């Protein structure tokens, strides 16, 4: 099995591998993680009784913690923290990226939608996300799972069957749920995510997966900050404006 950083590519035998690289530093991950987590905590404190926004507000908390966790992976490989701590941090990072995010994002959007066709579409995205997360969890448990230091990046690798298909379904579950929303700002947020996927895949194939997590953390923080300050739209009791 061949493995590459950041994208899924099939080998001549059709057996793909998956890897991810991030072109930053442990200090960069830590700084971004602290800022995004702080925004999410602040958003959670200003829900103003809108409990259906709770998962949306909590999303940057999860993604901010995700970036903080990766700083421990860096330091574990550099010998600044115990090896076991680094390995645990690696598993936490991968579980959040591959199992938590594809379920959390569509579920957060599903909770915002009233009954109707859009809610059914988002519900389908949620079920797809659950299926993708379950498949990726099995792949993680079967392994092998590794991480190594590269030149200004970390390279994660798991044994992933049907990699291109699974990553495509992952993107459909997450970005698709945003695009199906009946709320203008969430759709704009979804479009921005789709553009980011295309641009990152085009410009930084080797760093796509981890750069995507980095971007998602920042973008999620932005939408949660907007949610904190926005007033409900007059034609929907929960809509962002």
Q: Is residue 79 part of a domain?
A: yes
pLDDT at 154: 72
Say how many domains are in the chain: 1
Using a CB cutoff of 8 Å and minimum separation of 24, what contacts does 138-142 make? 140/91, 140/94, 140/95, 140/98, 140/99
Instruction: Name the token pair of 187.
Output: 């759709």
Q: Is residue 97 part of a domain?
A: yes
Q: Is residue 18 part of a domain?
A: no
Give the pTM: 0.79
d(CA 170, CA 177): 11
* Phi, psi for 127 (deg, rounded to 5): -65, -40
Q: Is residue 2 part of a domain?
A: no
d(CA 168, CA 153): 24
Q: Could you tell me whether strands 18-20 and 145-149 are parallel, antiparallel, or unpaired per DSSP bridges? A: unpaired
pLDDT at 129: 95
Q: How far is CA 89 from CA 69, 73, 223, in A?
A: 6, 6, 27
The answer to whether 32 touches 184, Cβ cutoff 8 Å, is no
Q: Is residue 184 part of a domain?
A: yes
Instruction: Name the token pair of 107.
Output: 């579920």
Residue ranges, the chain, pLDDT below 50: 1-23, 204-207, 233-235, 237-241
pLDDT at 2: 34
pLDDT at 206: 45
Range of the domain at 86: 26-140+162-224
pLDDT at 130: 96
């Amino acid at each position: 099995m061949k493995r590459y950083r950041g994208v899924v590519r099939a080998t001549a035998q059709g057996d793909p591998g998956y890897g991810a690289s991030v072109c930053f530093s442990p200090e960069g991950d830590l700084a971004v993680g602290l800022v995004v987590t702080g925004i999410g905590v602040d958003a959670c404190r200003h829900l103003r009784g809108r409990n259906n926004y709770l998962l949306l507000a909590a999303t940057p908390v999860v993604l901010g913690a995700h970036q903080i966790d990766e700083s421990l992976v860096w330091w574990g490989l550099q010998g600044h923290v115990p090896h076991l701590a680094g390995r645990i941090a690696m598993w936490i990072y991968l579980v959040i990226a591959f199992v938590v995010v594809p379920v959390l994002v569509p579920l957060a959007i599903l909770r915002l939608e009233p009954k109707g066709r859009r809610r059914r579409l988002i519900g389908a995205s949620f079920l797809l996300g659950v299926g993708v997360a379950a498949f990726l969890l099995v792949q993680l448990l079967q392994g092998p799972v590794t991480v190594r230091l590269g030149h200004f990046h970390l390279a994660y690798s798991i044994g992933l069957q049907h990699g291109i298909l699974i990553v495509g379904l992952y993107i459909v579950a997450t970005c698709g749920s945003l695009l199906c929303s009946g709320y203008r700002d969430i759709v704009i947020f979804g479009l921005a995510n789709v553009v980011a996927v295309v641009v990152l895949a085009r410009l930084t194939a080797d760093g796509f997966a981890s750069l995507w997590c980095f971007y998602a953390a920042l973008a999620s923080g932005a939408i949660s900050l907007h949610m904190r300050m926005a007033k409900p739209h007059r034609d929907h009791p929960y809509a962002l404006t």
